[in-house]
Copies of this chain bind each other. A is one copy, B any other.
Amino acid sequence: MKVLGLIVEYNPMHNGHLYHLNAAKKIVKPDYTVAVMSGNFCQRGEPAIINKFARTLMALKNGIDIVFELPTVFSLQDAGGFAFGAISLLNNLKIVTDLVFGSESNDSEFLKQIAEVLYNQPENFDYLLKKELKKGYSYPNARKYALKNFLKFDSENLSKIEKSNDFLGIEYIHSLLKLNSHIKFHTIKRIGSNYNDETLKGTISSATAIRNAIKNNFDYSQALPPNNFKIISDELKEGRGPVFFESFETFVLPYLRKMKRSDLEKIYGFKEGLDIRFIHAANNAGDLKEFLDLVKTKRFTYSRIRRLLFYSIFNFDKKLIEDSNKYGPQYFRILGFTKKGQNLLSIIKKQVNRPLISTASNYKKILEKILKDTEKDWDVIPELYLKQFEMDILASNIYSYFYPNKSQRKSGMDFREPIMIE
């Protein structure tokens, strides 16, 4: 049996994603396809434009059989943490045989070569990395130059690791190595618009361009499968979105004005003077844009700064993230599945050593049951399980407060049942 695993954000799922999904299926010819998807907050350090249930529905209507949620403690991390969470989850399902990801270079041997350097951390590479970091580069850039020197890249090779998909791809392979996973990986050449392109171009556009179109009320219908366009339109009609990063400014900036260095010290990622920069910027900025510009330096990317903003409001404490990055997601949160996916779920259920959560309100009961169960060799750290899951609930509750429609803002979207479709 072949099971294809995908790592997605689908923010929102558009024609490019659909093309990618179908191409992946052509390569793998899977019996089933599952996706691990970011929940309400994405890796760029932004809220998803539409909530995770609507985005799950899009995925299920377009060929994914089960959608699992990538816990927020991973979906809001840098490429390394994001990849580790997603790969761990897929690997722990014990049924995924193949992983396919988009790649600008489409040169999987080359990406693997780099991932092996990252995994083996040869001493000489470590030295080169530290040297580049000392020059004041951001971590991604420092690593890039260290790799260049270590592997003696020419400029063509160098450009391959500058693109966002390749960059993530390297981290996926890196995590597969770390977990000694048997999942086979394949790359697909990215088509159409660049990930970061901001304007709509034909039927294949970037998610960024589509989000911009939603923001500016442009027609984006051509860029999405028609059923997905309808799902988004319905959500917008109900006022459950769009949710934008900027909506959070009246929350995060006054919030940061009350934080002291000693508060930020407890939060993951506030090193290299970022605590001081955040506090200074929050007290001097009139909006989020100004805030980002005040914090920004060559060393810190905008995505990192945005992610840290959410770390501070969600209270991503150091131990939680460090433990998560060691032990991976402690549960499989099912956001939705198709009739076909339901069969696969019953197979998965028998094999896994971490619990499937379909009814979120049972999350404590599920843990209690596991703790009493002596038949199966469960591999769950109770405290970490609770903290990861409660972070997802908190993230949703804060997310929904920023819906345009006041009557939709209630907490508790997680306590809806998973989506089931024929």
Interface, chain A (partner B; CB < 8 A)? 247, 250-251, 253-255, 257-258, 283-287, 290, 313-315, 394, 397-398, 401-402, 405-412
Chain B contacts of A412 at CB under 8 A?
A: 283
* In contact, A283 and B406 (Cβ under 8 angstroms): no
Bound CA–CA A263/B132 (angstroms):
43
Contact of A284 among B253, B290, B405, B410 (CB under 8 A): B410
* In contact, A258 and B411 (Cβ under 8 angstroms): no
Contact of A258 among B258, B290, B315, B409 (CB under 8 A): B315
Chain B contacts of A394 at CB under 8 A?
A: 257-258
Contact of A283 among B284, B405, B410 (CB under 8 A): B410
* In contact, B401 and A254 (Cβ under 8 angstroms): yes
* In contact, A250 and B253 (Cβ under 8 angstroms): no
In the A-B complex, the 10 residue pairs with the smallest Cβ-Cβ separation, listed nearest first, are A286-B406, A283-B411, A286-B409, A250-B250, A254-B401, A257-B397, A254-B398, A251-B254, A287-B406, A284-B410
* In contact, A251 and B255 (Cβ under 8 angstroms): yes
Bound CA–CA A408/B286 (angstroms):
7
Chain B contacts of A406 at CB under 8 A?
A: 286-287, 290
Q: Name 30 A/B residue pairs within 8 A (Cβ), A-sorted.
A: A247-B250, A250-B250, A250-B251, A250-B402, A251-B251, A251-B254, A251-B255, A253-B401, A254-B313, A254-B398, A254-B401, A254-B402, A255-B255, A257-B398, A257-B411, A258-B313, A258-B314, A258-B315, A258-B394, A258-B398, A283-B410, A283-B411, A283-B412, A284-B411, A286-B406, A286-B407, A286-B408, A287-B406, A287-B409, A290-B406
Look across to chain B and name the residue whose beta carbon is closest to the beta carbon of A390.
Answer: B260
Chain B contacts of A255 at CB under 8 A?
A: 251, 255
Chain B contacts of A247 at CB under 8 A?
A: 250
Q: Which of A284, A286, A408, A410 has the most CB of B within 10 A?
A: A286
Bound CA–CA A287/B250 (angstroms):
14
Look across to chain B and name the residue whose beta carbon is closest to the beta carbon of A280.
Answer: B411
A412 to chain B, nearest CB (A): 7
Chain B contacts of A283 at CB under 8 A?
A: 397, 410-412
Contact of A285 among B287, B290, B398, B409 (CB under 8 A): B409
* In contact, B251 and A401 (Cβ under 8 angstroms): no
Look across to chain B and name the residue whose beta carbon is closest to the beta carbon of A398.
Answer: B254
Bound CA–CA A247/B406 (angstroms):
15
Bound CA–CA A411/B294 (angstroms):
14
Bound CA–CA A313/B410 (angstroms):
20
A96 to chain B, nearest CB (A): 34
Bound CA–CA A412/B283 (angstroms):
8
Chain B contacts of A290 at CB under 8 A?
A: 406
Q: Which of A250, A285, A405, A410 has the most CB of B within 10 A?
A: A250
Look across to chain B and name the residue whose beta carbon is closest to the beta carbon of A409.
Answer: B286
* In contact, B401 and A257 (Cβ under 8 angstroms): yes
Look across to chain B and name the residue whose beta carbon is closest to the beta carbon of A250.
Answer: B250
Bound CA–CA A314/B406 (angstroms):
25
Bound CA–CA A125/B407 (angstroms):
46
Bound CA–CA A409/B284 (angstroms):
7
A138 to chain B, nearest CB (A): 28
Chain B contacts of A401 at CB under 8 A?
A: 250, 253-254, 257
Chain B contacts of A407 at CB under 8 A?
A: 286
Chain B contacts of A253 at CB under 8 A?
A: 401
Bound CA–CA A408/B247 (angstroms):
20
A25 to chain B, nearest CB (A): 40
